[in-house]
Every structure is written in C-alpha cells, then in structure tokens.
Amino acid sequence: MPTISIPQSLLRSLMKKRGLAHDVSQTHEELPLLGTDIDACTEETLDIEIFPDRPDLLSGETLAFAMAPFLHHAPAQPDMPTTPSGITVSVDPSLSTVRPVVHCAVVRGVDLPEDADELDLFIKGLMDHQEKLHFAIGRGRRRVSIGVHDLAKLRPPFRVVTVPETVAFVPLACDKPMTVKQILEQHPKGTEYAHLLEGAEAYPLILDDNDDVLSFPPIINGDHTTVTHTTRDFFIDVTGWDERACESSLMLICLQLMERGGAVQTVDVTTCSGEQRTLPVGEGQRHLVPEELVTSLLGRSFTDEELHRAINRMGGRLEGRQPVDDDAPEKSTKMAVASAGTSELVFTMPRWRFDLLHPVDLVEELAIGHGYEDLGVDHPKAQFTATARPDHHLRRRLRDAMQGLGMMQIQSLTLSNERDQFTNMRWEPQHAVTKITNPITVDHTVLRQHLLPGLLRLLGANRHHDLPQSVYELGTVVRNHANTERLAFLTAERAGGFAAVRGRIQALCTDLGVTDWSVEALPDGEGPWLAGRAAKVLVNGTWVGCFGELDPAVAVLYDLRVPLNGAEFDVTTLAGLIEDPV
C-alpha cells in the first residue's frame, strides 16, 4: 500500500481555512474507517498507509478534503467549481494510435507559503502525488501520465502532435538539447519508461504557440516549464489510454491545488477524433442504487436524514429517491440489475472517486458513513460444523515441534517480489512464477515461492532487539500457479553454526517420528547458503528441504550483520512421506 507522511501543521492550516479544528486524537481513532492504516500519529506528523481502493487520498491536501466531512461533518463538495480559461488544446489525429486520451486543466492563483522550506515541501508533495498516481491509477504511466507546468512560462494555445525520433528539446534537469532517441536511450527517465513506447514509429509531444516543448509523454517534461518557488499559475496535462483514469488523475491534481487556494479553470480540447470537449467536467457523477440492494446487504432501511448524513461523510450528496425506470440508460450502464426493486436512491459523488464502479460500492460507502455498529442483525442460515483439514494433524505437530525449539511463529504476506524471492536469495525460479498484472507497489509484484525471504525481512526490521531471535513460518506458497505448503525457520544467534541448525533438524525429525532421514551436501552457490555449510534433507530418499548457515553477503542485503542459520521444507511432499499417527 502507498505510504505518505503528512505534517500535522498542513492538516491544521487546511482545516482552519474551513473553520474547523484539527483533532489529532480523533484522527487516530476514526480515520482508518476511511480506507487508511495509520502507522504513526503524533502532534508533528501523520504517517499513513492508503488502501489501494482510495487513490483520492494520496496527498495531504486531498486527504484533508476527505477528512473534513468524514471527521467534522462539514458539508461535502462532490462538485469542483470551474471557470473557463480561454485556453485551447488541439490533438493531432495521429495520436489515435500513439496516446489517444488527452485531458488538460489550468489552476490559477495558488496560495503558497512564503517560507522557502515550506515551499520546498509543497513542490515535493506535488511531485510525490504525481508519482503515486502514476503507480496507483496509471499502472506505471502506461494508462496515465501527468505533467504539471508553470503556466507563466508558456504561450497558449497548445498542440499535441507526433514527431520522429530525431526531434530535439531540452528535457527536465538537463542543460542541453537531446533528441527523442537520445532521451529514450540515455536519460534516466527515458531508460526507465522507454518500454511504454517500444515499437513506436512516432512519438507524442505537447507544444505551445512558440513550438516550445512542454512535455514528451509519458516520459518527461521540458526543462523550461519546471515548477519553482515563484509558480502560482499551473497548467496540467494528462495523457494515456484510459479515459476514466485520465479524468480522475487530472481532477485529483486540480483538487490538490484547489485546496491550496487555487481556482480551477477549464480548457477546450479538440480530441484526435475531432470532438470538442471542455475539461475538466466539474459536476459530480450521478449514481443510481436500488434501495432494495441497500436494505438486503445492510440489514435495515434508512431514513432520508440517515442517508444524507452517511453519504455526506463520504463526500457525496443525496439527491433523493425515484421509481425504477427499466429503460433508463443510466441503469444499464450502472449494472443496477444487481438487485431487482421498485425504488432507487440517487447520489452525486465526486468524479475523481475512481473506485466507485458498481451500486454495491455505494452501499459500502453508506455502511462506512453510517457506522458499522448500527446496522441490522442476522443469523447464519447454514450449518457451520467444521471438519479438520487433511493436513491438520501434521501442521499441528510441526507447530508444536517449532515452538518446542523455542521459536516464535510469524505470518508474512503471500505477496512478494522477484528481488526478494530470487535475486537476493540466489535461487533460480524452478517453477512458473505467478505475477500480479496490476501491482499496487513494487514490493508486491509476484506470489511468493519461498518463505525464507519473509523471515529475513522480519529479522531485519527487528535487528535492534536482543539476540538470540528465532522465528518460523508455516504457510502457503504458489508454484506453477498452484498452492503448496512450506515450513521455514531462521535463527539469529552469536554462537550458532552448522552444528546448531543440524541439531534442530534432528530434533524436528524426532518429533515427527521420522527415522529414515539423511543429509546430503548442497552444491556451493545454490541458494542463500554459505559455501560448504549447507545440506539437503532427504526423507525415505526423497528431497524435502534444505538447511544451513546463511551467507553474510545475503544477510547484509537485509541490514543483518549477525550469524544466521535456518531451513526451509516442502510440507506437501513431507506429508506424503511420513505416517500420521492420528
């Protein structure tokens, strides 16, 4: 989950503009219900993890905007007030096969602090917000890329065109021109995102009336448009392939600047298909929710006052109730057939709420806004008499054995990344890797195949505690896209060595009643083990796991500088080799 650190002084100042008092204790108690996980909440700083379904909370300003009605019952503002800017943007038809969606906006008169350090924090926060949106909504800039520019340095109108790779301009953080080809091959941002334009024969550029380059999406901006301490008027461009994602990203950047006192202005865009559009659209999005769906899912009916209060806390507005119109186009597009009924609730929600896809999402909003403690009561209608899992007894015996060895059980995330699973551990993938198509963070891109990396990360995070430290995990991994069970343990101790970990293996086998077991030297360089200090474990002649001392070169990657020894076993294989005494 994306993590942001927000100065409490910023939240206080933003709330003060609304005539509200920012209460740190109330924030700590109630804010998690909004879709967050608070790591730390002090008088100086709020460190908070934002759940993936709430990208509208990824900056201090947009978070404060959502906190005002949720914590302080301030009137919600699902509409974004806009005025015309008079600026036009024309998109060349050639963009239809390169990067067809182009959205733009202007924000003028942003009220920024006079203190240089606070200005630096604002600019850093603006850039951080962009990058988090690039990752959370833009899928690494593939679906969305955002450019923020100093409008005072530009001359409208603007054009979006395609150019050959030989065209040159001065990119951000450079002092001399580079061709498009050179940027993609030599500039750090170019090499990082060149894959997004792989195979392209023409490349998108945004130009002003002087033919100066504002942006080379989705790679980098031009250097002369850089936002500085003197910037008060902003031009924002958003390009990509997903219409809804581009609209949400544009409005969230506008919302961040609007919270700083800026006035949002629309831009007239001629799309690559020749359509005339005025963007952004400030009016909120209308949602229809079958009233019977709300009643059936939440277990009770609601008065208009309760609905108003609940949806207002979530930033929306209740427009009223209406009879169901089976022929209404909104109904078919909103999948309201999720619950047949005779009455619909009409809500207006902000257009930047990228997470609202279906009527059931609005039901969840009502539940959070109203409070879970006052919903209906129901009883189970099915038998819940359970039977033990087939491997229950083996898992119990493994846990008893590990705890008998003085180890503490932990449970780490099933999501991991290739760096931890393979690169750092020096394991080659022996099975098909299950990858996440749209990962939320760079640390969670694959489903794990090994448990030891999670144990290493845990000990690395607890390295300030006294030794010895012994932990184990009995959990699920995914190999060849199928679940399988594994057991791993890791010990950090000053006097530990190969003899110590071999003794633990012997004790484990004794506890499991395994008599026909042996060890076999493991080839050097195979895994994270220290050369000559690792072995395979064979039960009835079948390889079930490895153990040994960890190479200090691997341990230091996790900031661990103490002797480590451990093991990892295939529990699924082990279960087929030993007898279940129960």
- Structural domains in the chain plus CATH codes: 3-72 (3.30.56.10), 83-279 (3.50.40.10), 285-373 (3.30.56.10), 392-575 (3.30.930.10)
Distance CA 105, CA 278 (A): 9
Q: Does the structure show a pLDDT above 80 at 378? A: no
Q: Does the structure show a pLDDT above 80 at 338? A: no
Confidence of residue 282 (pLDDT cuts 50, 70, 90): very high
Distance CA 44, CA 341 (A): 50
Provide CB contacts within 8 A for 364, sequence distance 6+: none
More confident: 139 or 312: 312
569 is written with which tokens? 């076993």
pLDDT, position 334: 46
- For the segment 384-409, the average pLDDT, to the nearest whole number, is 88
Confidence of residue 1 (pLDDT cuts 50, 70, 90): low
pLDDT, position 93: 96
User: Looking at this protein, which amino acid is placed at residue 136?
Assistant: A
Tens-digit pLDDT profile for residues 495-546: 878 999 999 999 999 999 888 899 999 888 889 999 999 999 999 989 999 9
pLDDT, position 336: 44
Strand-pairing partners, residue 318, are 347
* Average pLDDT, rounded, for the chain: 91
pLDDT, position 267: 98
- For the segment 448-467, the average pLDDT, to the nearest whole number, is 92
Q: Are 268 and 276 in contact (CB under 8 A)?
A: yes
pLDDT, position 341: 62
List the helix and strand counts (H, then E) for the chain: 17, 27
Distance CA 13, CA 375 (A): 35
Q: Are 93 and 273 in contact (CB under 8 A)?
A: yes
This model's pTM is above 0.75: no
Confidence of residue 329 (pLDDT cuts 50, 70, 90): low
pLDDT, position 456: 94
